[in-house]
């Protein structure tokens, strides 16, 4: 299968977890390369649900390597909890590898996030509260504590002192240095067997001809550079993040897959042109179980936005698309696809690079017939009602990306090829 990337093409929660689980069968290792425990990736196997926050969604496949690379920010407490829960459910976690250079999410990162969201008031970002932004902030400020530091007492002490001093001076936050040191060293001891040079590990796997799958978290519009800034996360969640986040070169990537939901959702604040308020939005939320896998917050729901898909295709150089949750649209009389925006009186087909412009854009819709049939039991593309096939075809035509797979249920086997 060579080295492939799976990224979200919308605002996250597109169903990446289930796609990773499917592709993981065919590769030797699955790598998380950005984000942290803000992610919530769901995999359902024989009715049993697993939600992954930090651990790659391929871990359910015995013998495959699960790698958390340098670009991820790790909350050790969350990671240990996730490991423990998996072990209790009989999942083998020995094949986990953690980058020595991945940054650690500290308690003061979470406190700062709460503090800043409060200060922002009505302009809050609506973050997941997992300390992600402040952890990347310290990384960029070159004072971050990294996983390898948890194994080096003297270095850790120096770095921690500096950080506690800075957080005290800047924000008036106070923590017991001794307590924190003790906790961090304990985390280090519990995780030391997993901590390694993951860039070299990935490189060596590639040299042996092994296939690697890079698991994106969040989605294109949450990317810190290319998303709907400032309503974004703090990492590069687009395919470009793979190289820096895992320590590989761009020529090592053979294929990029995008995942899109058959409609759109967004959790947190920020503009959302195709958002549906009222009955249809509520129906999608209810049928789609659209509540955050990490925070439980209700997700905002809207029509499919093909302007965004074209943008995601460009930013990620998408080869193919996987369309999930088609079944959720089953009861609708009409289904709409946003094909362009009306922006200050002009019709535009390209996603505007200027956020100020974009937030004023109004969607221009193409309305197509709904299928009003239960698709959740189909076993192939040809069994889909013709209106559902037409919907897939239109998204493919308008979005300009071939759709390779579609899914009609959360279970492992409820995903099918379009050929
Ligand atoms: P991720 O963050 O991209 O991995 O997506 P999430 O796990 O946060 O959200 C996707 C949700 O939709 C999960 O609850 C999945 O079990 C569910 N899901 C995925 N694909 C389908 C599908 O085709 N149909 C239905 N009904 N649910 C799906
Ligand atoms: P997965 O990987 C959906 C959103 C938050 C908020 C913004 C910033 O499951 O698709 P952060 O905590 O990252 O600083 O929050 O980004 N967000 C996500 N939304 N799915 C995710 O991950 C998300 N991770 C962050 O809701 O709007
Ligand atoms: Mg999710």
Which of helix, strand or coil describes residue 343?
Answer: strand
- For the CA of 294, the nearest atom of ligand 1: 8
What gap in Å lies between CA 247 and CA 123, rounded to an integer?
A: 35
Q: Where are the beta strands (DSSP E) in 26-101?
A: 29-32, 41-45, 48-52, 65-68, 73-74, 96-99
Are 351 and 310 contacting, i.e. CB atoms less than 8 angstroms apart?
yes
**For residues 171 and 193, what is the distance between their CA atoms, to the nearest angstrom?**
35
Ligand 2 mutation target, pool 233, 269, 272, 290, most atoms within 8 A of CB:
233
Helical ranges in 212-305 per DSSP H: 241-246, 279-288
Which tokens is 388 given?
Answer: 């559902």
Q: Are 179 and 185 in contact (CB under 8 A)?
A: no
State which CATH number among 3.90.15.10, 3.90.170.10, 3.40.50.720, 3.60.21.10 fits the domain covering 260-417. Answer: 3.90.170.10
> How large is the average pLDDT for residues 327-346?
97
Q: Give residue 293's pLDDT band: very low, low, confident or very high (50, 70, 90).
A: confident
Banded pLDDT at 207 (limits 50, 70, 90): very high
Structure tokens, 142: 């070159």
User: Tokens for 416?
Assistant: 């099918």
Judged by average pLDDT, the poorest of 25-29, 163-167, 206-210, 353-357 is 353-357
pLDDT for residue 353: 87
Neighbouring C-alpha atoms within 13 Å toward the C-beta of 67: 32
What pLDDT, on the 0 to 100 scale, is given for residue 355?
87
What band does 1 get if pLDDT is binned at 50, 70 and 90? low
pLDDT in tens, 91-130: 999 999 999 999 999 999 999 999 999 999 999 999 999 9
Q: What is the DSSP letter of 369?
A: E
Nearest CA to ligand 2 atom 3: 12
Report the alpha-carbon distance of residue 273 to residue 302 in Å, rounded. 8
- Nearest ligand to the C-alpha atom of residue 113: 2
Going from the Cα of 42 to the center of ligand 1, the distance in angstroms, rounded, reads 6
pTM: 0.98
Domain 3-100+197-256 architecture: 3-Layer(aba) Sandwich (3.40)
Ligand 2 center from residue 298 Cα (angstroms): 13
pLDDT digits (tens, 9 = 90+) for 16-43: 999 999 999 999 999 999 999 999 999 9
> What is the model's pLDDT at position 92?
95
Provide the pLDDT confidence category of residue 294 given band limits of 50, 70 and 90: confident
Mean per-residue pLDDT over the chain, rounded? 97
Active site residues: 13, 41
Distance 164 CA to ligand 2 centre (A): 27
Give the C-alpha separation, 13 to 296, whole Å.
12
Tens-place pLDDT, residues 229-282? 999 999 999 999 999 999 999 999 999 999 999 999 999 899 999 999 999 999
Token pair listed for 195: 């901590």
Ligand 2 in reach of 72 Cβ (< 6 A): no
Domain formed by 103-191, architecture: Orthogonal Bundle (1.10)
Residue pLDDT, tens place only, 385-396: 999 999 999 999
Range with top average pLDDT, 295-304, 320-329, 356-365: 320-329
- Using a 6 Å cutoff on CB, does residue 40 contact ligand 2? yes
Question: What confidence tier does 292 reach under pLDDT thresholds 50, 70, 90?
Answer: confident
For residue 362, report the phi and psi dihedrals to the nearest 5 degrees. Answer: -110, 140
Mean pLDDT of 359-365: 95
End-to-end alpha-carbon separation of the chain, Å?
A: 19
**Phi/psi at 384 (nearest 5 deg)?**
-70, 145
Complete DSSP assignment for 76-145: HHHHHHHHHHHHHTT---TTEEEETTSEEPPHHHHHHHHHHHHHHGGG-----SSSHHHHHHHHHTT---
For ligand 2, mutation pick of 127, 135, 228 (most atoms within 8 Å of CB): 127
Residue 57, pLDDT > 90, answer: yes
CB atoms within 10 A of CB 257: 25
Domain chopping of the chain, boundaries: 3-100+197-256, 103-191, 260-417
Find all residues with CB under 8 Å of 399, minimum gap 6, and list them.
306, 309, 310, 313, 321
Protein residues with C-beta less than 5 angstroms from the ion ligand 3? 13, 40, 293
Atom of ligand 2 nearest to the CA of 41: 9
Ligand 2 atom nearest the C-alpha of 40 is: 9
Nearest ligand to the CA of 133 is 2
Q: So what's the pLDDT on residue 184?
A: 98
Conformation bin of residue 15: beta by default, left when phi > 0, alpha when psi is -120 to 50: left
Residue 133: in which H helix or E strand, if any? Answer: helix 132-140
Q: Strand, helix or coil at 222?
A: helix
List 335's β-bridge partners, or say none: 368
State what percent of residues in the chain have pLDDT above 70: 100
The whole-number pLDDT of residue 181 equals: 98
Spatial distance between the Cα atoms of 44 and 6, rounded to a whole number of angstroms: 18
């Amino acid at each position: 299968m060579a080295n492939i990337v799976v990224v979200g093409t919308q605002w996250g929660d597109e169903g990446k977890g289930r796609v990773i689980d499917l592709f993981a069968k065919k590769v030797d290792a699955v790598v998380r390369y950005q984000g942290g425990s803000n992610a919530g990736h769901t995999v359902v196997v024989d009715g049993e649900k697993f939600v992954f926050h930090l651990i790659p969604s391929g871990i359910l496949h015995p013998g495959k390597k699960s790698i958390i690379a340098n670009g991820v920010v790790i909350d050790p407490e969350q990671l240990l909890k996730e490991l423990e829960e998996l072990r209790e459910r009989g999942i083998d976690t020995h094949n986990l590898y953690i980058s020595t250079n991945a940054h650690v999410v500290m308690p003061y990162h979470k406190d700062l996030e709460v503090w800043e969201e409060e200060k922002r008031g009505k302009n809050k970002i609506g973050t997941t509260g997992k300390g992600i932004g402040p952890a990347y902030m310290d990384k960029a400020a070159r004072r971050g504590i990294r996983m390898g530091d948890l194994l080096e007492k003297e270095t850790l002490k120096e770095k921690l002192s500096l950080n506690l001093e800075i957080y005290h001076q800047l924000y008036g936050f106070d923590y017991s240095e001794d307590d924190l040191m003790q906790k961090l060293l304990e985390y280090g001891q519990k995780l030391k067997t997993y901590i390694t040079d993951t860039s070299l590990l990935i490189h060596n796997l590639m040299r042996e001809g092994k296939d690697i799958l890079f698991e994106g978290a969040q989605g294109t519009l949450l990317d810190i550079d290319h998303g709907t800034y400032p309503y974004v996360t703090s990492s590069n969640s687009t395919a470009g993040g793979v190289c820096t986040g895992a320590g590989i070169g761009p020529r090592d990537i053979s294929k990029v897959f995008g995942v899109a939901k058959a409609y759109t959702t967004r959790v947190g604040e920020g503009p959302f042109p195709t958002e549906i308020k009222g009955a249809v939005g509520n129906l999608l939320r209810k049928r789609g179980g659209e509540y955050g896998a990490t925070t439980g917050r209700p997700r905002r729901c809207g029509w499919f936005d093909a302007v965004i898909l074209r943008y995601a295709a460009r930013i990620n150089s998408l080869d193919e698309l996987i369309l999930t949750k088609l079944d959720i649209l089953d009861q609708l009389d009409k289904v709409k696809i946003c094909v362009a925006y009306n922006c200050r009186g002009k019709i535009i087909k390209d996603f505007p690079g200027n956020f100020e412009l974009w937030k004023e854009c109004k969607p221009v819709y193409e309305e197509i017939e709904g299928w009003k049939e239960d698709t959740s039991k189909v076993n192939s593309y040809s069994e889909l009602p013709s209106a559902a096939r037409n919907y897939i075809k239109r998204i493919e035509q308008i979005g300009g990306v071939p759709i390779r797979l579609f899914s009609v249920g959360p279970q492992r086997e409820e995903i099918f090829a379009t050929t």
